[in-house]
Chains A and B, each alone.
Chain A
């Protein structure tokens, strides 16, 4: 199954990677269009980094094929790699170099023509907010700025595909917001793959998402699909004069009710089309339950993982 569609900037099919008998990644496929951001989501050890290493040519896949802009990464690595920018988990920076020196070196390594090197360096610094740090030694920069140097390094040669492995790990909230908006901006001109274990991050910036678990893809959909999957699953209601659990279950049809603590109930098993929120509010006014808080609880990452992985096992 080889995709020859020209609009795809990256297509990987049937990627499998084994370490001895241990299968780290099994049959992962990715297709990326220009201007699209894909999120790879998964708990630690799910195979996100391994997948990214294979796509960037840092690790040879045991099985499967990877094409970058129609060029086979395994047969023609040198040409294919000019079209990829990669930020590994740990930014690959030389701490003894200055930001300028380092970016110039990277531009040359990526075969940016010597006339364009300095403009490419300036451009990358501007986009990542590093202009003021130009003459600083990378080793003396904070973790957040080193991460930015890592991102600058990945985009300096204007690659078609940018691959970012956990780009916001270890940053403070302000920096996370900045980096996220930078990634969104990148997504306008490049195709971006990013990995993370933070669900809201994927929802905030990605167009589509793949969830990996133990090396297998357990969820692959547009971002809207994930939102649907997560939301509308349950709500949490707090009452001043609470009814009993049985009354609630009787009055609201087709739901499961569980008590979180005194006066607080979690109502789950909801379907989007059959939302009982209105009914609940009306009932509360009518019966004088004193409803004072109603929270639409979204499923957390853990719940999504649990649900997906248990689904997966029952499917087998």
Chain B
């Protein structure tokens, strides 16, 4: 049942130009960053060869792309999650899902699954760019795997927050703006958290993501993301349930 909803959601996404525009924007932007980095690497390659323990191709070309991908997700995920629930409310199609013999949990998890599938598509494109380097040299596959995992968790956390905010309003645009504002808030927390001992560091999504950028997959970081994802999915379900009770 979850997959029925997820498939429907993906079909609706790709029926509108939005999904295609987002994919094109993500790909165009990241390809640009990636090419610039590869160019830089070619120029300084000779110097690097003489330096002991120098960063390799993966660190110089691939990792910055993942760093940029964080910002790209921050901007594009609100556009993708904004309509997931709010549009169903606005068009009164929520009644169809609620009257069907499925639970609120299945509805929300189905929609979240659609977002994860979309994220996987973005990740596949990013991975394809990274692996294209194999044609000309060796790359650190472990580091890339850690980066992909980090980006997936980050995208999932952003998506669950976006879905929750989409539950709060009937207007997709309001949901998008609110979601973007919240993500900006997280980003600012990341900037403010310069002192490693500060509690800001502990709650900052971007600081958590930086670990993955360095190829460092730590249990606390993974757990942090999983907790955020679960929390906001749970809140979304509660919100929909409460509407049935009190709206």
The interface of chain A, by Cβ under 8 A from chain B, is 53, 56-60, 77-79, 81-82, 84-86, 88-90, 92-97, 101, 105-106, 108-111, 153
Q: Within 8 Å CB of B92, what residues of A?
A: 88-90, 92
State the CA gap A86–B97 with chains docked (Å). 11
State the CA gap A5–B160 with chains docked (Å). 46
Known A94-B12, A108-B4; contact A78-B103, beta-carbon cutoff 8 A: yes
Asked whether any CB of chain A lies closer than 8 Å to the CB of B15, the reply is yes
**Distance to closest chain A CB from B199 (angstroms):** 40
Which residues of B227-247 have CB atoms within 8 Å of chain A's CB atoms? Answer: 244-245, 247
In this complex, the member of B1, B95, B103 whose beta carbon has the largest number of chain A beta carbons within 10 angstroms is B95
Q: 22 pairs across A/B with beta carbons < 8 Å?
A: A57-B99, A58-B98, A59-B244, A81-B100, A85-B99, A88-B92, A88-B95, A90-B92, A92-B92, A93-B93, A96-B15, A97-B12, A105-B4, A105-B8, A106-B100, A109-B5, A109-B96, A109-B100, A109-B102, A110-B100, A111-B1, A153-B96
Decide if B99 touches A84 in the complex (CB within 8 Å): yes
Decide if A92 touches B100 in the complex (CB within 8 Å): no
Which residues of B169-201 have CB atoms within 8 Å of chain A's CB atoms? Answer: none
Asked whether any CB of chain A lies closer than 8 Å to the CB of B11, the reply is yes
Closest 3 CB pairs of A and B: A92-B96, A109-B100, A81-B101
Q: Within 8 Å CB of B1, what residues of A?
A: 108-109, 111
Decide if B99 touches A78 in the complex (CB within 8 Å): no
Asked whether any CB of chain A lies closer than 8 Å to the CB of B16, the reply is yes
Which residues of B82-117 have CB atoms within 8 Å of chain A's CB atoms? Answer: 91-103
Please tell me which one of the listed residues B93, B95, B96, B101 contacts residue A78 in the complex, with CB atoms under 8 A apart: B101
State the majority secondary structure of interface residues on B: helix
Please tell me which one of the listed residues B12, B95, B100, B102 contacts residue A96 in the complex, with CB atoms under 8 A apart: B12
Please tell me which one of the listed residues B11, B94, B99 contacts residue A81 in the complex, with CB atoms under 8 A apart: B99
**Distance to closest chain B CB from A83 (angstroms):** 9
State the CA gap A139–B97 with chains docked (Å). 19
B14's nearest neighbour on chain A, judged by CB, is A96
Which residues of B22-39 have CB atoms within 8 Å of chain A's CB atoms? Answer: none
Please tell me which one of the listed residues A90, A96, A109 contacts residue B97 in the complex, with CB atoms under 8 A apart: A109
Q: Within 8 Å CB of B103, what residues of A?
A: 77-78
Decide if A97 touches B101 in the complex (CB within 8 Å): no
Q: Within 8 Å CB of A97, what residues of B?
A: 11-12, 15
Decide if A86 touches B99 in the complex (CB within 8 Å): yes
Q: Within 8 Å CB of B102, what residues of A?
A: 78, 109
**Distance to closest chain A CB from B92 (angstroms):** 4
In this complex, the member of B93, B98, B101, B244 whose beta carbon has the largest number of chain A beta carbons within 10 angstroms is B101
Known A78-B102, A109-B100, A109-B102; contact A92-B11, beta-carbon cutoff 8 A: no
**Distance to closest chain A CB from B88 (angstroms):** 9
**Distance to closest chain B CB from A243 (angstroms):** 58
Decide if A57 touches B98 in the complex (CB within 8 Å): yes
A92's nearest neighbour on chain B, judged by CB, is B96
Known A86-B95, A92-B92, A93-B93; contact A79-B12, beta-carbon cutoff 8 A: no
Decide if A58 touches B93 in the complex (CB within 8 Å): no
User: A94-B91, A111-B1 are known contacts; what are 16 more A-B pairs with Cβ within 8 Å?
Assistant: A56-B95, A56-B98, A56-B99, A57-B244, A58-B95, A58-B244, A60-B244, A77-B101, A81-B99, A92-B93, A106-B100, A109-B1, A109-B102, A110-B101, A111-B101, A153-B96
